[in-house]
A and B are shown apart, each in its own frame.
Chain A
Amino acid sequence: MKTVLVFFAAASLQFGQAKLPQYTKETLPNGAVIAMMPRSGVPLVYFRVLIKGGVESDPADKAGLANVTASLLRRGTAKRSAEQFAEELDYLGGTFGSSGQGGRGGGGEGQLESATVISSEFLSKDFDQGLDLLADAVLHPAFTESEVRKELARRVDGAKAMKDNAQGSIGAYFRASFFGKDHPYGHPPDEMSYSLIGRNDIAAYHSKFYCGKNLLIVVTGDFDPAAAKAKLAQVFGAAPAGSAYTWSTVPAPARKGQMLLIDKSDATQTYFQIAQPGIDNKNPDRTTLEIINTLFGGRFTSMLNDELRVNSGLTYGANSQLEQERLPGAIVISTYTKNDTTAQAMDMALEVLKRLNEKGITAAQLASAKAYVKGLYPTRRLETMDQLAALIGEIELYGLGRDEVDGYFGRIDAITLEQANATIKKYYQTGNLTFVVLGAADKIREQVKKYDPHATEVSIKTAGWGDR
């Protein structure tokens, strides 16, 4: 049978090792960095543009500014009205944004804490037209007054709509509570912060941040590298050099015992998160912690899911997340259960944490987690062009080096049981935890009082995320 749709041949990866395929990197005279990884196969080209700054560059009183700016890029440019842009993009079957499925409605931008991410994909034959659309939006947005007004008004309503989904909103309450007002991760946008943003803020943010020295453009997929390099250099090289954003320095959130209780009076289920300080994405303990957290709450057979779901049927799922951003984040236990088993589930989660802290893990557990993380790594990070571009983006943005991938399996293999158990003692502590609990307060208040008699209580109907 004749093969026309060929999937890219790897040869980059054999079982037992992970290897990032080669990519080229070039810095343009204006400071913009272009990274390219051409791979023939699926006739698609994927662009990933990172603009250094992201959430941490938001002014404290104007949370959401970086994100709103990104949403408005495609809503009218020097060359195109918003409608023309949308029509041309959709006609090509292209994507612009984070959804990968054509950005149905809404914003259309991805966000890391420390960079804005624009991702865009086209058929290879549309490389030129795709690049023209992408660059037009990223470099020449019009930010018309009417589009700015519409976007901000939608966002205010969107913040309300988010609260109709308990599971979808607890994360914002958590960030405000755990990181606090003074930390750049600690002020999720709300109705009030949007109301303080104006067109001038957006235009000023764009001209300050969307400049050569803050731009990283990653291109992966099926394209001619020589032709692409010339075109990318021409388009993105034309951006003003500007000045590079300097990372903010803020103290890591302190370990503190506290509880925020959010009242959603109609809830029949309580959602809760229990957190403590974790690490940043360069911490030398990070690979060991990934393995430990996999065992604690990162897979189906994890200690948390096994106890709260499989053994007791209290919940559909319980997990622990190890945040890894540029600034130190949290280790967060998350789950939910019906109103009258709230304290039972919280006690059980704390008991599992205590057991991990006191007893550590066994050699068999360590071996299982190592095999699990390595076995799934290729499908999680190395399979598609967008995954590879995301990896290159992280490596270049944070200056991690390609050893981040190539040395990963080696670092996993090197973890010893003693080292793992010492790392557990250091990070998985049982005191001074942050609790965020969302549920019907009248039905659960008495149950959860014991975790913090001085808990702060807020109604979900109140604007903001418990911080207003």
Chain B
Amino acid sequence: MRWITALLFLPALVAQNVQTATLANGMKVIIQEDHNIPNVAMYFFYKIGSRNERPGITGISHFFEHMMFNGAKKYGPKQFDNEMEKAGGNNNASTGEDLTTYTDWFPSSALELMFDMESDRIRDLALDPKMVASERGVVYSERRTSVDNNNRGILEEQLQAAAFIAHPYHWPVVGWPSDIEAWTQQDLKDYFAIGYAPNNCTMVVVGDVTVARVMELAKKYIEPIPRHEPPPPVRTKEPEQLGERRIVVRKAAQLPLQMIAYHVPEAKNPDSIVLDLVSTVLSTGQSSRLYKRMVDEEPLALSVNGRAGDALDPTLMIFTIQPRNGVDPARTEKVLYEELARLQTTEISARELQKAKNQLLTQHYNRLKTIAGRASLLGHYDVIFGDYNKMFTIDKDFEAVTAADIQRVAKKYFTEKNRTVATLIPEGGARK
């Protein structure tokens, strides 16, 4: 059995040149010098997202992210982008359920400008009512694109809302339409006060910088911003699901679409890495079980994948299946359950488990190739897992997972009581 001993041979992942510090106002700074290209990735991870919202202001974290580009005290409307692009830089930002992340990429010559502009908007965001009105239209257009006119987007929104009845993961990050239309100036001011505390943020700088220079600028621009209360803890816990939930979305479409979700734990739970391996065994690569069964051997699906993101609170593993033309979604659903049952009843072979570990590890490697990829991972691990060092020991964490762990976790989470089934049925079609 030479296969089984053929473990992936990799150099140990070592946290190279990573340095951290905490400013007097509580903001954490993580720095990695890398002089390969004369560029810098500077990311800010604010621990605020849709999980910190409440009915009436759903989507406000995301809206806020947009407003962070619409003018502060020193740099007025449009100036953040204008100054940045003129200096050879580019930016984006994203909002999720747990975090709002601001991502800046620029030549190292623009480092001080970026500190100046980032500190300006963290400290003194303007929230000009005219800009609020226009940005509302932008966000609504984003919603129309990512949800209302996107079958995957709309089905996932409905699925989440059904799977979570109490926890804030119930509502969509982009917000319900009525809230997008209704949030007020005061709502935004209140939200800024709770979310954008320096002590609620981790800053990551990777690239053509020196630690000394970054710290000097951080002390000059960021440290004087006073700390304040972070968002209150999210109290609500999702109660245990008591039975299968099924929902249907009827919409004009060429093909049906199916999403099947199971509640799974938060990222810090030891089962979450086992679930990463489970989803890899099931749906990563053409050798994965679901691809082979549903896409290749039987003409049931165009694509199938299952994944659970790393989340602060218990989340979902969602299987998304695109049935083939003329295939009854009841059939793809049944086949998924057969494959999940197989994981529960038969222990996975050592070779198949090792394959999944190798796949996940090389994927992880691939994300370390760029300064942007490393800035993203350093922040993600620091904020979601509580320690960026986790990203350098992930090989050992994978290695520790056994076939028995896979079976135990499959039995624990893939149960009928724990699942929500969402199906998009083409309008006018006669499919069940």
Contact = CB atoms under 8 A, between A and B. Distances in A.
14 contacts: A1-B14, A1-B16, A15-B108, A82-B286, A82-B296, A90-B285, A90-B286, A100-B366, A157-B325, A161-B254, A315-B141, A375-B110, A383-B36, A385-B369
B285 A102 contact: yes
A314 B134 CA distance: 8
Which of A44, A91, A461 counts the most B-chain CB atoms under 10 A from its CB?
Answer: A91
Interface string A86-125: 1101111110000011111110100000000000010101
A402 interface: no
A143 to B, nearest CB: 16
A3 interface: yes
A368 B89 CA distance: 10
B136 to A, nearest CB: 7
A304 B255 CA distance: 35
A82 B286 CA distance: 9
Contact of B137 (A92, A157, A167, A313): A313
Given A105-B286, A105-B303, A372 B88 contact: yes
Interface string B176-196: 000000000000000000000
Given A102-B285, A310-B134, A375-B106, A461 B254 contact: yes
A249 interface: no
Given A90-B358, A104-B305, A375-B39, 10 more contacts: A10-B37, A15-B107, A104-B284, A108-B286, A300-B91, A313-B135, A316-B141, A368-B82, A372-B86, A374-B88
Interface stretch (B114-122, B287-295, B339-347, B377-385): B287-295
A257 interface: no
B36 A10 contact: yes
A160 B254 contact: yes
B10 A123 contact: yes
Contacts, number: 244
A4 B151 contact: no
A13 B88 contact: no
Given A160-B325, A383-B371, A376 B358 contact: no
A241 interface: no
A4 B14 contact: yes
B35 to A, nearest CB: 7
Interface of A: 1-10, 13-15, 42-44, 74, 82-83, 86-87, 89-94, 100-106, 108, 121, 123, 125, 150, 153-154, 156-158, 160-161, 163-167, 264-269, 299-301, 306, 309-316, 336-338, 367-368, 371-372, 374-376, 378-379, 382-385, 461
A314 to B, nearest CB: 6
A312 B137 contact: yes
Interface residues of B, number: 89
Contacts of B330: none
B408 interface: no
B34 interface: yes
Q: Which 4 A-B pairs have the closest CB atoms?
A: A375-B88, A313-B137, A93-B362, A266-B252
Contact of B286 (A42, A44, A86, A154): A86
A106 B302 CA distance: 8
Given A123-B362, A266-B252, A105 B305 contact: yes
Contacts of A92: 358, 362
A291 to B, nearest CB: 13
B418 interface: no
B158 to A, nearest CB: 16
Interface in B393-427: 427
A379 B87 contact: no
Contacts of B15: 1
Contacts of B133: 313
B138 A106 contact: no
Given A375-B87, A378-B38, A268 B144 contact: yes
B354 to A, nearest CB: 7
B403 to A, nearest CB: 16
Which of B141, B255, B366, B369 counts the most A-chain CB atoms under 10 A from its CB?
Answer: B141
B286 A91 contact: no
A94 B303 contact: no
A466 B362 CA distance: 42
A153 B298 CA distance: 12
B335 interface: no
Nearest to A378: B37
B89 A376 contact: yes
